[in-house]
């Protein structure tokens, strides 16, 4: 059995090398590739994806996993070995259920859909994108059928991002969240708005970059095992435990957004850098789920980076760096400014209090599309009606509305809810951290972020993908994903800022 | 047959995607990778190399090539299709002859030898490297035996870099070259030395970079299909015809070396950017040989970049940019300074007139090691004796002598002669270009480098690896590789500079 386990490890090492190689090509594509490199890069990524799929569904791998299942069951169920066999077996089974012809058709459909989406967005004309999205919705409904029977047609899609999580659970969570979050925003809107005009002045790019680097360093980002570059859309990627990279967007007209972007991606990167070396070159050397990953980025971006304690400590340094922009702005005004709540049309620009509503809207539409209760052609109208309902706004055009996100054009349905779940998990963990590190706020106020990172390493990061998200959160906090701490957090934080 | 040709094309497309993917990983490794990424990057490159080797020696590929040989012979022998089958068949045959166990042993041996070489060089102690080099020489002699029978044991090694070229040909070329080049250097050494002290002042890095970029642009480097970055050791790499990258080393204390480095790598890059799109994603989408590739880099670096015409045009711009370093230096003094001849110990720092002697020394030693007439343990002594003989110098230690180059530690034996052959080919082509573009010097003097590049595109670049090097040079110049034009070139150029 140990010989077979060694064989499995070798196969997984090869697979993970190929996945990392793809990641390097993908990183370069977004960061440094010259424009004319796109077509060939697409070929290279396509070839790697095909080889990965072949190897990940090879019958010898399946046989090995079958043979190893009894062995895995004989081990401590929390051991790396037992979990590795279990998670790999699950991944193999899922991949095998999907028809290879569907995989090819889906790859073709999303390639043309992304281009169509770009053009449709540029012209702000949903009708140009409609037939492509119809194909994607059809293919995603077919995809779900590979996993029949299921409780809900959306379950198999959600499972790709949140292993083990069910649509019914997500709905239940959002049903609790929605009315309270809508209510809070209504109360905020009744209060005088905070000032954030000072954030809309140009901030020189070099200062933004340097400040971001100094904060990443204080967060514990290991520069020997990673780097930061610039890209149009910030992201985090890993080429192995010794090379985790983030990007940020640094433009003078973007205020200090690059700082929050660096902290957000830095949170993702600390997760990847913190995975136990024992999981190296396996399927477990990644985050537990997209939502758990997002909980890390949101924690550093919002719970640390938009907190009073953080700015008490760091504001003097920022103010000194940008004295002409911030010389006359006191720290509490600044703190309130970076926490301004204002319903807006664009998800990625949304503040903490309104962000989840953008997600709920998308989740409802995705579920309706998958159930067949909503037709793609009716999407813009429904989108606009729900925006009005949730946030009191009506998009002036499709580009600011239904066409704003790239996700659907790339075939991602089931991804959006992970953003909101990440917010909830971050606060749920935050509560637990405060129980175990009672003077956390003081430590942050002293610029000492080390024990926070250590806690995350010990309780979350080191495990990689050993545990499913609900299991992990339950282990750490004693309960499954729970929206109540998040609601309390929003009420307290914005209650203070808006004097509710 | 057309169906089979299509199958071949698909297999080669996949192979070339994997080779390009490796190139992206290799580029990043030298340009941006954080230090702790090295181990995992090695794994990734190893896995890709293994998959490439598997696919390049797959029996189905061999069968396809066998089936296609009669078809290829029925086509115009100069057609892309005929050449593609021929070159691919040759590559397949060569790979198949090598025992896979040898490949693994060689990979392991060179990995440890590179580290041993680094340490030995740091301590300037050849004895630390000796056992590793002994293993490599043994393995390379075994490698040659896979291709027995051969005329000379060095032939199979040379053939990896210069398809079709034989040791006897290279020896004959160098036998003509050696005495005349030694004689020329002796004459130069009898004359007063030219002044180049002004090159040893610090040149600000940004100015060097900007000047290099402007020259690359004038050379016709296509920035939409490539980029330049910085690295410790400058190199050129291709990720496809739409993405060809170069690096340069830019340090204030390196004088204007970064400019010549940019022109050298730019010459390589123009070759790769100029390959016909019809050869895309095949084994032909690369240079004809290492020597032909080097002829392109040397042409731009030396025949253009160290010429009178070039500096008549560009010196005022350079002088303006670096007025404090060059304000008092007239253009002809500058021209002579960048062409200073001085025997030195280090190959990579050698001038045009002495460079080839460094190569001849290495070639003799390589041949003797392969023939078994020289033992590795006697290498330092022989090296030092030959340095004295060729250049009148004795290395003070192994680091400046036999340990200076990385090549042998990586298992490259047979590579060095391509550098010298590249010099010869560059001048041989240069003569042909002057016949066809009589006012070339005037064009260069006007900063018009377009018709030179066009000539290279039409006569060299577009063909990629369709023709073997001797065949290509014969087609273009009417004769095979010939040392005489190079000797005349050196005599004329340095005769003028040193008033011989």
- Tell me if B13 and A43 make a contact (CB, 8 A cut-off): yes
pTM higher than 0.90, yes or no?
yes
User: d(Cα A22, Cα A28) in Å, to the nearest integer?
Assistant: 10
User: d(Cα A86, Cα A93) in Å, to the nearest integer?
Assistant: 11
In this complex, the residue of A17, A35, A223 whose CB is nearest that of residue B44 is A17
Q: So what's the pLDDT on residue B421?
A: 98
Q: So what's the pLDDT on residue A315?
A: 97
For residue B227, the chain A residues in CB contact (below 8 A) are 32, 34
3-state secondary structure B358-373: HHHHHHHHHHHHHHCC
pLDDT in tens, B147-164: 999 999 999 999 999 999
Select from B10, B16, B37 the residue whose CB has the most chain A CBs within 10 Å, as the one to mutate to test that interface.
Answer: B37
How far A330 CA lies from chain B's nearest CA (Å)?
A: 39
3-state secondary structure A174-234: HHHHHHHHHHHHHHHHCCCCCCCHHHHCCCCHHHHHHHHHHHHHHHCCCHHHEEEEECCCC
For residue A242, the chain B residues in CB contact (below 8 A) are 34, 36-40
User: d(Cα B180, Cα B491) in Å, to the nearest integer?
Assistant: 9
Backbone phi, psi, residue A460, to 5°: -125, -60
pLDDT at B371 over 90: yes
- Tell me if B51 and A51 make a contact (CB, 8 A cut-off): yes
For residue A34, the chain B residues in CB contact (below 8 A) are 223-227, 242-243
- CA distance readout (Å), A153 to A82, A319, A366, A368, B455: 30, 52, 11, 10, 63
B168 token code pair: 């006897």
**Short-list B77, B50, B297, B121, CA closest to B287:** B297
Select from A17, A213, A280, A285 the residue whose CB has the most chain B CBs within 10 Å, as the one to mutate to test that interface.
Answer: A17
How far B379 CA lies from chain A's nearest CA (Å)?
A: 39
Angle at A257 between CA A255 and CA A260, to 5 degrees: 145
Q: So what's the pLDDT on residue A254?
A: 74
pLDDT at B323 over 90: yes
Q: So what's the pLDDT on residue B253?
A: 79
User: CB contact, 8 Å: A42 with chain B?
Assistant: no
- Tell me if B44 and A281 make a contact (CB, 8 A cut-off): no
Select from A26, A27, A28, A44 the residue whose CB has the most chain B CBs within 10 Å, as the one to mutate to test that interface.
Answer: A44
For residue B37, the chain A residues in CB contact (below 8 A) are 225, 239-240, 242-243
User: d(Cα A386, Cα A403) in Å, to the nearest integer?
Assistant: 15
How far B35 CA lies from chain A's nearest CA (Å)?
A: 6
B469 token code pair: 């090097």
pLDDT in tens, B29-49: 999 999 999 999 999 999 999
In this complex, the residue of B28, B47, B224 whose CB is nearest that of residue A36 is B224
Q: So what's the pLDDT on residue A251?
A: 86
Pairing of strands B226-230, B244-248: parallel
User: What count of other Cβ atoms lies within 10 Å of the Cβ of residue B214?
Assistant: 15
Element (H, E) at A151: none
User: d(Cα A287, Cα A421) in Å, to the nearest integer?
Assistant: 14
Angle at A151 between CA A146 and CA A157, to 5 degrees: 50
Share of chain B above pLDDT 70, in %: 100
Chain B residue with minimum CA distance to A46: B17
How far A243 CA lies from chain B's nearest CA (Å)?
A: 5
What parts of chain A have a pLDDT lower than 70? Answer: none
- Tell me if B21 and A47 make a contact (CB, 8 A cut-off): yes
Residues of A that are catalytic: 265
Q: So what's the pLDDT on residue A33?
A: 96
User: CB contact, 8 Å: A345 with chain B?
Assistant: no
Angle between helices A38-56 and A2-31 (to 10 degrees): 160
How far B457 CA lies from chain A's nearest CA (Å)?
A: 19
Q: So what's the pLDDT on residue A255?
A: 77
Q: In the beta sheet, which residues pair with residue B239?
A: none
- Tell me if A243 and B47 make a contact (CB, 8 A cut-off): no
pLDDT at B181 over 90: yes
Q: So what's the pLDDT on residue A19?
A: 97
This model of the complex carries an ipTM of 0.94
User: CB contact, 8 Å: A277 with chain B?
Assistant: no
SS3 B342: coil
How far B15 CA lies from chain A's nearest CA (Å)?
A: 9
**Integer-rounded Cα radius of gyration of chain B:** 23
List the B244-248 sheet strands across, edge first: B226-230, B244-248, B236-238
- Tell me if B40 and A225 make a contact (CB, 8 A cut-off): no
For residue B10, the chain A residues in CB contact (below 8 A) are none
Q: How many Cα atoms sit within 13 Å of A99 on the Cβ side?
A: 11
Angle at A65 between CA A64 and CA A68, to 5 degrees: 85
In this complex, the residue of A34, A44, A227 whose CB is nearest that of residue B32 is A227
- Tell me if A40 and B243 make a contact (CB, 8 A cut-off): yes
pLDDT in tens, B425-461: 999 999 999 999 999 999 999 999 999 999 999 999 9
Backbone phi, psi, residue A406, to 5°: -80, -20
pLDDT at B255 over 80: no
**Short-list A148, A185, A151, CA closest to A171:** A151
First to last CA, chain A: 63
pLDDT averaged over every residue in chain B:
96
Backbone phi, psi, residue B223, to 5°: -70, -20
First to last CA, chain B: 63
DSSP state of B194: P
DSSP state of B193: P
Over residues B410-437, mean pLDDT: 97
Instruction: Indicate if B66 belongs to the active site.
Output: no
């Amino acid at each position: 059995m140990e010989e077979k386990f060694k064989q499995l490890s070798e196969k997984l090492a090869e697979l993970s090398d190929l996945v990392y190689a793809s990641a390097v090509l993908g990183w370069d594509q977004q960061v440094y590739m010259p424009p004319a490199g796109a077509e060939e890069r697409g070929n290279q990524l396509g070839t790697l994806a095909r080889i990965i799929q072949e190897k990940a569904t090879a019958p010898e791998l399946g046989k090995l996993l079958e043979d190893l299942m009894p062995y895995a069951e004989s081990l401590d169920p929390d051991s790396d070995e037992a979990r590795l066999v279990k998670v790999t077996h699950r991944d193999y089974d899922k991949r095998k259920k999907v028809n290879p012809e569907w995989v090819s058709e889906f790859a073709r459909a999303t390639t043309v859909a992304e281009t169509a989406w770009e053009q449709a967005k540029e012209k702000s004309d949903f009708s140009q994108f409609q037939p492509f999205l119809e194909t994607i919705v059809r293919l995603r409904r077919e995809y779900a059928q590979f996993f029949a029977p299921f409780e809900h047609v959306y379950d198999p899609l959600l499972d790709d991002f949140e292993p083990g999580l069910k649509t019914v659970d997500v709905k239940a969570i959002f049903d609790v969240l929605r009315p309270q979050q809508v209510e809070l925003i209504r109360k905020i809107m009744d209060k005088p708005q905070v000032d954030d005009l000072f954030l809309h002045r140009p901030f020189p790019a070099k200062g933004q970059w340097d400040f971001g680097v100094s904060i990443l360093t204080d967060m514990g980002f290991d520069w020997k095992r990673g780097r930061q570059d610039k890209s149009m859309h910030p992201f985090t990627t890993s080429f192995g435990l010794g090379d985790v990279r983030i990007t940020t967007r640094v433009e003078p007209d973007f205020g200090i957004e690059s700082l929050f972007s660096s902290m957000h991606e830095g949170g993702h990167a600390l997760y990847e850098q913190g995975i136990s070396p024992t999981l190296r070159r396996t399927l477990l050397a990644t985050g537990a789920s997209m939502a758990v990953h997002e909980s890390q980025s949101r924690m550093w971006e919002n719970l640390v980076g938009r907190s009073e304690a953080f700015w008490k400590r760091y504001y003097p340094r920022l103010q000194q760096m940008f004295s002409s922009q911030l010389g006359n702005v006191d720290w509490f005004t600044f703190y309130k400014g970076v926490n301004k709540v204002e319903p807006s049309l664009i998800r990625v620009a949304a503040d903490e209090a309104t962000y989840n509503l953008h997600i709920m809207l998308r989740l409802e539409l995705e579920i309706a599309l998958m159930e067949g209760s909503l037709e793609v052609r009716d999407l813009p109208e429904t989108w606009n009606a729900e925006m009005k309902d949730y946030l009191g706004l009506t998009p002036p055009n499709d580009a600011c509305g239904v066409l704003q996100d790239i996700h659907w054009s790339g075939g991602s349905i089931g991804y959006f809810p992970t953003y909101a779940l990440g917010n909830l998990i971050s606060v749920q963990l935050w509560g637990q951290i405060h129980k175990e590190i009672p003077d956390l706020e003081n430590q942050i106020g002293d610029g000492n972020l080390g024990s926070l990172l250590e806690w995350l390493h010990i309780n979350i990061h080191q495990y990689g993908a050993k545990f499913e998200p609900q299991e992990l959160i339950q282990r750490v906090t004693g309960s499954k994903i729970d929206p109540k701490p998040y609601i309390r957090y929003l009420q307290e934080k914005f209650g203070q800022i808006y004097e509710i």
